[in-house]
Amino acid sequence: MSAATKTSVAIIGAGPSGLMLSQLLQRSGIDSIVIERRTLEYVGSRIRAGLLEPGTVELLAEAGVDARLRREGLVHGGFAMVFDDHVHRINLKGLVGREVTVYGQTEIQADIAHARIAAGGDVRFECSDVTISGFDGTRPRVAFNWNGKLHTVEADFIAGCDGYHGICRASIPQASIRNFERVYPFGWLGVLADVPPLSHELVYVNNARGFALCSMRSASRSRYYLQCPLTERVEEWPDDRFWEELSQRLPAEHRPQLVIGPSIEKSVAPLRSFVAEPMRFGRLFLVGDAAHIVPPTGAKGLNLAASDVRILFRGLVQHYRSNCDALLDEYSRTALLRVWKATRFSWWFTQLMHRFPDDEIGRKLQVAELDYIRGSEAACTSIAENYVGLPFPSGY
């Protein structure tokens, strides 16, 4: 067995949150090791979120990985909400003075991975049999097989950035953690295609046939979603059927703008709201999907992960520079305040825009809520400030 490697922070998971944390730490003179069970190519190919809050863009800039984003990202000052054929625009820029940026998670992953490799960061892909221990004391350890050998890492802290199915949350004694979950009775059928977007901004649709979302990854690549039963399979949705159903759900004024083409990726994803708390256990910190999952309706998943990274990073810098643990001690509480607010908004937006089976009173409430939103600047402002991301407390 090889001798134990020592580092300040052992990061489990090389997705955007793990690599972002490692990049920020290195730029602040704090060493880390990133341990990932998948290949670099697999992690980089996952089709995920594509809408960034201003706070996430700011964090990418702080990490020094925002150059391509600034060139290629699409800045949006609003989005459309459609109820049957009525289109109502939420003017983000006009209501709260902030905008969001469309830039795919695959691009973020590529940018950060390139930066870590260029900086000589210690990122180890294709690790197997990963285990963590000692995080409830003063000597956290990570053990794993890599390149045919057993390795161990001794660290001051462990950051669990390994997702919903990762080993970090699963390593916590059940009596020490509480899980909250709501599973929705439908999923999203998503299609990625190299066609121009329907509109220059996102379009959320509440239609009698079900929810639809018209999004994009660039000016020439579109991402579309349809609400579908959880029992649906991708094989049941050839491209022709998908485009026809999407067209049927769009308002009449948008249908002529729909450009169709062959899909390059197609998948069905279930929707759930999930929060695990607390998010700190001794010297183990849960980050991103390891601690929370939100339905994608409010575009909060990646942004919440970036929020966790920001809060944890600030605490680690304070620890190493000032020998003070005040921010680390507040990590779980501070992160969960944002997590629960974002979970609430994602749940609310999902309830508002989707059709729920056998729910007549729910439908009547949707009608009332949407009518209220159309006539209330205060309601629109509330939507806008949640959509662009709530402010961070002082010190973060």
184 is catalytic: no
* Of 103, 184, 204, 225, catalytic: 204
204 is catalytic: yes
Whether 141 contacts 235, CB under 8 Å: no
Residue 160, H or E segment:
strand 149-160
6 is catalytic: no
Q: Going along 163-318, which residue ranges are E strands? A: 178-193, 203-207, 210-216, 222-228, 263-277, 280-281, 284-286, 292-293
Give dist(CA 154, CA 142) in Å, integer: 7
296 is catalytic: yes
CB within 8 A of 231, min separation 6: which ones? none
CA angle 184, 190, 191 (to 5 degrees): 175
CB within 8 A of 388, min separation 6: which ones? 53, 54, 92, 96, 98, 99, 100
CB within 8 A of 18, min separation 6: which ones? 11, 12, 34, 36, 159, 161, 162, 287
CB atoms within 10 A of CB 366: 19
Q: Tell me the β-bridge partners of 205.
A: 82, 212
Structure tokens at 276: 């695990």
Give dist(CA 271, CA 142) in Å, integer: 32
270 is catalytic: no
* Of 16, 76, 254, 292, catalytic: 76
* Amino acid identity, position 247: S
Whether 166 contacts 13, CB under 8 Å: yes
Give dist(CA 102, CA 91) in Å, integer: 16
* Of 16, 140, 295, 296, catalytic: 296
Give dist(CA 102, CA 214) in Å, integer: 13
- Catalytic residue numbers read 76, 204, 296, 300, 387
